[in-house]
Structure 1
Amino acid sequence: MSRAFVNEDAGNDRPDLLELPVPPGPNIVTPRGLAALRERLAQRQADLAALKARADRLDKLPEAAAERDLRWLEARLKAAVVIDPSTHDLTEVAFGLAVTVADEDGRETTYEIVGEDEADATRNRIAPNSPLARALLGARVGDVVTWHRPAGAVELEILRIAHAHP
């Protein structure tokens, strides 16, 4: 028999997908971040159930992707360490707090330092390991910090430190 007619993938019901990288160490999250991870897990579980309920299940890739996503979400939840920002006083910038800064032109921006999985630049939510968060952490109202960016350093004055809105 010719090799041209042999399905070398026969018996392989699971497409090969690369695993999503799970950062080592703890996953520091706010209570809101923990709730969001749990919501994402529940949604992905529902997605997988719907995929498995399809009449036509010839394409196994969507199911494999959902299972891979579930493994990643479960690992992130297992590594989660919740830090409740409501327990922080507002004397210095800390994880989970909102900090309002003014740049050299006087433009004010409020940032919130959140867990990696919560970071969202469009909402000014920044991860604690970002250059901006590293510049802000530990600063007090009135301090001027230097944010080292690829486009050049920027001086930021700390104007306010507050508890973030849920």
Structure 2
Amino acid sequence: MNKAFTKESDEADDDDPQLPLALSGGKNYITPQGYARIRGELLDLIDNERPKVVEIVHWAASNGDRSENGDYIYGKKRLREIDRRIRFLTKRLEIMEVSDPSVHHGSDQIFFGATVTYIDDAGVQRTVTILGVDEADSSLAQVSWVSPIARTLLKARTGDVLQLVTPAGIVEIEVLSVQYPVPGPNGSTV
């Protein structure tokens, strides 16, 4: 029989997304805000979205013939997607290590959570914030702490000239400034 006419099993949909390899001895740093956002997403899926979809699937199943019932078929598929995301987020939260960057406020040395302004040898100035793998967003000038630029910048200080290895070759960059969030009154960041 031609493979094009065989039915795929539902188990193919249950494959978990691949987790990034354990980084630097298994550490997966994240800011308190990033942890709260990911935990909030997980709790919303468990407490709100999943029960709504279960209710729809239950209602659709009570209508009879499930083979052509769009609400039932779509609901079951959506339920698998939600369960997959819940498993993924749960695994990620288990290996996260919350690191508050505000403890370094006032320091000129670059650590996790720093916002760093640097200039390259072509005179282009850039500002990046070094965050966790699960929270960095390049469109907001945020880079993962395991990215090449972050690895080059970490532990450097204001005024240091560093060698950044790029696909185009080595680029010299100079650290212009380092900033951290201000600690809040109860130890939280502002």
Question: Could you say which TM-score interval applies, normalised by the shorter chain?
Answer: 0.7 to 0.9
AA partner of residue 43 (structure 2): A
The answer for the alignment partner of 1:87 in structure 2 is 103
Question: Bigger shift: 67-76 or 17-26?
Answer: 17-26
Over the matched positions of the two proteins, sequence identity in percent amounts to 35
The DSSP-based 3-state class of the residue aligned with 2:13 is coil
Change in 2 beyond 3 A, CA 1:13/1:127: closer
Change in 2 beyond 3 A, CA 1:48/1:150: farther
Root-mean-square deviation (Å): 2.4
The answer for the alignment partner of 1:40 in structure 2 is 41
In the TM superposition, what whole-angstrom CA distance separates every residue of 1:85-134 from its partner, at most 9, and x where no partner exists?
11115121100111111122322211111110011111111111111101
Relative to its length, the structure with more helix (as a share) is 2
Q: Does the Cα contact within 8 Å between 2:149 and 2:164 map onto a contact in 1?
A: yes
Structure 1 residues 35-114: aligned runs within 5 Å: 35-45=36-46, 46-54=48-56, 55=60, 56-59=71-74, 60-89=76-105, 90-114=107-131
> How many residues were matched structurally?
158
Offset at residue 15 of structure 1 (A): 5.8
Q: For structure 1, which runs of at least 5 residues remain unmatched after alignment?
A: 1-7
The answer for the alignment partner of 2:64 in structure 1 is none
Which of the residues 15, 34, 51 maps onto 1:18? 15
AA partner of residue 37 (structure 1): I
The answer for the alignment partner of 2:163 in structure 1 is 146
The DSSP-based 3-state class of the residue aligned with 1:16 is helix
Q: Does the Cα contact within 8 Å between 2:108 and 2:177 map onto a contact in 1?
A: no
TM-score by length of 1: 0.83
